[in-house]
Chain A
Amino acid sequence: MINLLKNEFFKVIKKRGFLIMIIVMFGYAILTNVIYKTVYSDLEQISESSYQGESYYKTKDDSLLSKVDDKTSKQFNKLVEQYDSGSWQYNYLLDNNAYNYLYEINSYELKLTDDKNNYEEAKKNYNNLLDILKKDDWRSIVKQNKEDYEKLLQTASLTAKKELQITIEEQDIRLDKNISFETSNKNDTLNKYISSKKELLNYENKDLEKLSDNDLENYEEIRRDYLSSEYALKHNIPLDDYASSKGILENFFNEYSLMLIIMMIMIAGSITSQEFSKGTIKLLLVRPYSRIKILLSKYIMVLINILMATAIMFIIQLLVGSIFFGLDSLKTPVIVYSSIKDSIEVMNVFKYFALNFLSCLPYFIIIATLAFCASTLFCNTSLAIVIGFVGFVIGNISSLLESFKNWWVKYVIFFNWDFTPYIFNNRPPIDGLNLNFSIVTCLVYLLIMLIPTFIIFKRKDINNV
C-alpha cells in the first residue's frame, strides 16, 4: 500500500502540469504582494470632503460665488502642497477648518459678505494655524484641543458629554503615546479605537438579544474593532498592517484559496481519469493489489496534495514576502476576536495560519473529493475539473441561502464545511450549527460521494481506449 502511494506521489509531482502550477503560483504570489504593497502602504484615502467646501452664503451673484470658490481652492491647495502628503500638517489641514477660514476671508475681501467680525476672527484663526504649522508643534494643537473640549464638557448634555469624554481621551492618548496626525499605523489604530468606541455608545441602552441579525453583525464588528484597537494601542502592536509579510499571511486563505483550489481540483480531477485516457490504468490494475487499495492510494494522494499545495503556496509566499517586505513583521502577533466570548485572543501568526488551515480543511477535502469522485466515475478529466469548479463556485455564492429560514438549510454542506466559527469561537452563519453537527454532516457528504465511487470502480470493466 505504501508503495502504491509512493508511486502516486511520484506520478503527480512529475507531471508537467504540476510544475506549471508552481510557476503560476509564484506569479500569483508576486502579483498579490505587489498589490498589497501599493494599495495598503499607500497613504490612507484622503478624505476629500474639506476640499469641496460648499458655499454657505446664498447670493444671487453666481459668478461672485464661484470666484470665491476658485480663489479659496487655489489658496488652500497651495497651502497644502507645501507639506508632504501624509505628514501631520497635511492631514491636519485636510481634516480641519483651514479651508473655512480661507473661505471667510475671501468672502469678505471679494465683497460677498460684509460681516467684519467674522472676517477678523477667521483671519486671526488662520494666522494662528499657520504659526502652529510652521513651528511643527502638533502637541500644542492637541493640548489646545483638549482644553477646548474640556470647556465644552461643562455645558454639554449627557449624551454629548460621553462623546466629548472619548474625544478628550483621544487627545490624552496622542500626548501620552506621542501619536501625531501623521499618517501612520498608530494614528489609524487610534482613529479606529476612537470611532468604534463612539459607535458603541449607540448600543449602550439597547437589548442585544433583540437585535436583528444584521445589527448584531454590525455590533460584533464594532466590538472587534474596539477590542483589538484597544489592545494594539496598549501593547504597541501594529494593527491592520496589511502591507507586510505578516499581513499577507494573516489573509493567506482569502488571497490564495483560489490558487489552492485550482491545484487541488487539477490533481484530484485527473488522478484517475488520466490513467483511463492514456490507457495506463491497465498497467496499474494488473498488479498484486486489490482495486480498492489502488483507488484508496489515489484518494490518499489527493488528500496529501491538499497539504502539499498549501505548504508550497505558504513557502512561496514566505519567499516572495521576504523580498517585498522582509520577515520582521512575522514577530508581531495577530489579534483575533471571538464573538461568542466577546473577547480577543493574541497569537503567533504561524499558529493563526495553522488554525485557519484547519478551518478551511473540510472545505478543501470536500471540493477535492468531489473532483476525485467525478474523475473516477466519469473517467473524463475535463468533466471532473468542471464539476470540481462548479462545487467551488456554488459554495462561494451559497451565502445567499442564509436568508432562507427553512429547516433544511443547516444540512446544506456549504454552511458546514467552514470551521472558522468553531475554531475562533464566532457565531455560526446559521443558528443551530455546532462543531459536532458540522463534522457529522461533512462526513456524511464525503461518504455519499466516496462509497458509490469505490463500489463502481471495483466493478468497472476496463474497455478499450
Chain B
Amino acid sequence: MKKILECQNLKKKFGKKQVLRDVSFSLNEGDILGFIGPNGAGKTTTIKLILGLQKINGGKVTINGYDIKTNYVQAIKKVGAIVENPDLYMYLTGRENLKLIARLYDEVDKKRIEEVIEISGLGKRIDDKVSKYSLGMRQRLGIAAALINKPNILILDEPTNGLDPEGIKQLRDLLIKLAKEYKMGILISSHNLLELESFCNKVCIIQNGKIIESSSIKELKNKISDSLYVFELDKVSDLYKFIKEKFEVINKTTFKIQINRDAVPKLIEKLIRNKYQIYQVSQLQISLEEAFLEKTGGNKID
C-alpha cells in the first residue's frame, strides 16, 4: 500500500491556545479514513493545515511525496477537497462554477466537466444559478468540483451535511467505488458517526487536538466491545451484593457490565453459585458511535 498523505507531529496555535498537539496520521491509496472528533477537537483545522489554508506551527505534511511547505503547487495538484461548506460562487450556474475550476488545471477538458456533472447527478439543474440550489444539491456540486482534477486524494469535511438518506447512500456508493476502482485515498470527517461506520475502513479519533485512537474500524470495535457483555438471567435482584464492578441493569432479566474477557468465566461461576439461572451471555455488538462516545467520554471540550 502506498502512502499518499502523511501528517507528522502537526502543531497549531491560535494565539495562546494550542489547537493541535502532535497530530500524526497517514492515508494510503484505496483507504477511506474516517476522521472523528467532537466539535472543536481540531478536525477542520487539521484539514486546513493539510490544504495549506493555514500556516503550520510545527510538523510536516507530505502529499504524494511533496512537502506542502516547500512545494505546495506540486503537492496540491492531485488533491480534491471540500472544506467546511461547499462554498461556491452563488451568482454563477453550476456549470460555470465547474468551468472556473477546470480552467485552473491543464489536463482537465470539456469531457471531464461532463463526467463530473454526470457524477453529481444534478442533471438539467446544472445550468441553474447555485443560489437556487438546496444545501444537498450544493453538496453534490461541491463533490463534483472536488473530483474535477481527477485527484488521488479526496478530502471531505462533513460531506453528509444536508444530504437526504438517498443522497447519503449515493455518496457512500460513490466513495467506495472511487476508493476501489481508482485507488483514491479519501479522508472524510463527519459528525454523523453512524454513517462513517459503513464508509470507512480506517478511523482516526481526535480530541482536544490530539489523536487518541488510530486503527481500523474492526480493531476499534474489538478493543472497545471486548469489555462489554450482556447477561440474561432469571432475575437481577440483589446482584450488587456480590458483583463489585459497576454494572447497569437493563430490565428485569438482563444487565450490562464492562469487564475484562478473562473475568467472564469467574463471573458466570459466581452467578451459578448464587443460584442465578443464566440463559444467555453475549458480547455486545456496538455501533461506531457508541464506541466513540465510550472512548472520548462524550462530547466534552476543554
Query: Which residue of the partner chain, among A15, A283, A288, contacts B87 with CB atoms under 8 Å?
Result: A283
- A241–B302 Cα distance when bound, in Å, is 77
Least CB distance, B222 to chain A, in whole angstroms: 36
Residues of B within 8 A of A82 (CB): none
Closest CB-CB distance, B18 to chain A, in whole Å? 15
Contact check: which of A6, A279, A287 meets B84 at CB < 8 Å? A279
Our count of residue pairs bridging A and B at CB distance below 8 angstroms stands at 71
Name the distance in Å between A30's Cβ and chain B's nearest Cβ. 27
**Are B89 and A11 in contact, with the CB atoms below 8 A?**
yes
CB distance from B90 to the nearest CB of A (A): 7
* Closest partner residue, chain A, to B155 (CB atom): A286
CA distance A282 to B83 in the complex (A): 7
How many angstroms from the CA of A459 to the CA of B77 in the assembled complex? Answer: 20
How distant is the Cα of A16 from the Cα of B54 in the complex, in angstroms? 31
Q: Check if B84 sits within 8 Å of A464, measured CB to CB.
A: yes
In the complex, B72 has a CB within 8 A of chain A:
yes
Contact A290 B100 (CB under 8 A): no
Instruction: Give the size category of B's interface with A.
Output: 20 to 34
Decide if B224 is an interface residue (CB 8 Å cutoff): no
CB proximity of B110 to chain A, nearest CB, Å: 15
Tell me whether A462 is interfacial, beta carbon within 8 Å: yes
Q: Mark A160-187, 1 if CB is under 8 A from B, else 0.
A: 0000000000000000000000000000
Chain B residue nearest in CB terms to A280: B87
Chain A positions within 8 Å of B52 at CB level: 285-286
A289 vs B105: C-alpha distance when bound (angstroms): 10
Asked if B91 and A14 sit within 8 Å, CB to CB, the answer is: yes
Contact assessment for B88 and A283 in the assembled complex, using a CB-CB cutoff below 8 Å: yes
Interface of chain B, main secondary structure: loop
Q: Whole-angstrom distance between the alpha carbons of A154 and B104 in the complex? A: 87
Given known contacts A14-B91, A280-B87, A462-B53, A287 and B104 CB-to-CB distance under 8 angstroms: yes
A459 to B55, CA, bound (A): 7
Cα–Cα distance between A44 and B54 once the two chains are bound (Å): 67
Contact of B81 among A10, A286, A288 (CB under 8 A): A286
Query: In the complex, are the beta carbons of A288 and B76 less than 8 A apart?
Result: yes
B103 touches A3 (CB 8 A): yes
What CA separation (Å) do A368 and B73 show in the bound complex? 30
* B53 and A282 form a contact (CB under 8 A): yes
Among B54-74, those with CB < 8 Å from A are 54-55, 72-74
The reply to whether B91 and A287 form a contact with Cβ atoms under 8 Å apart is no
Distance in angstroms from A15 CB to nearest chain B CB is: 6
Instruction: Report B39-60 CB contacts with A as 1/0, cut-off 8 Å.
Output: 0000010001001111100000
Cβ B53 vs Cβ A280 within 8 A: no
Judge whether B73 and A288 touch: CB under 8 Å.
yes
Task: Assess whether B103 is in contact with A289, with CB atoms less than 8 Å apart.
Answer: no
B196 contacts the other chain (Cβ, under 8 Å)?
A: no
- Asked whether B22 is an interface residue with its Cβ less than 8 Å from the other chain, the reply is no
Chain A nearest Cβ from B24, distance in angstroms: 21
Binding site for B on A (CB under 8 A): 3-4, 6-7, 10-11, 14-16, 278-280, 282-283, 285-290, 459, 461-465
The residues of B with any CB-CB pair to A shorter than 8 Å are 44, 48, 51-55, 72-74, 76-77, 79, 81, 83-85, 87-92, 96, 100-101, 103-105, 145
Given A279-B84, A286-B52, A286-B79; 10 other pairs, CB 8 A cutoff: A7-B100, A11-B92, A14-B96, A278-B87, A278-B89, A279-B87, A286-B53, A287-B101, A461-B54, A463-B54
Q: List 6 A-B contacts (CB under 8 A).
A: A279-B84, A280-B87, A286-B79, A288-B104, A290-B72, A462-B54
3 A-B pairs closest in CB distance: A279-B87, A462-B53, A461-B54
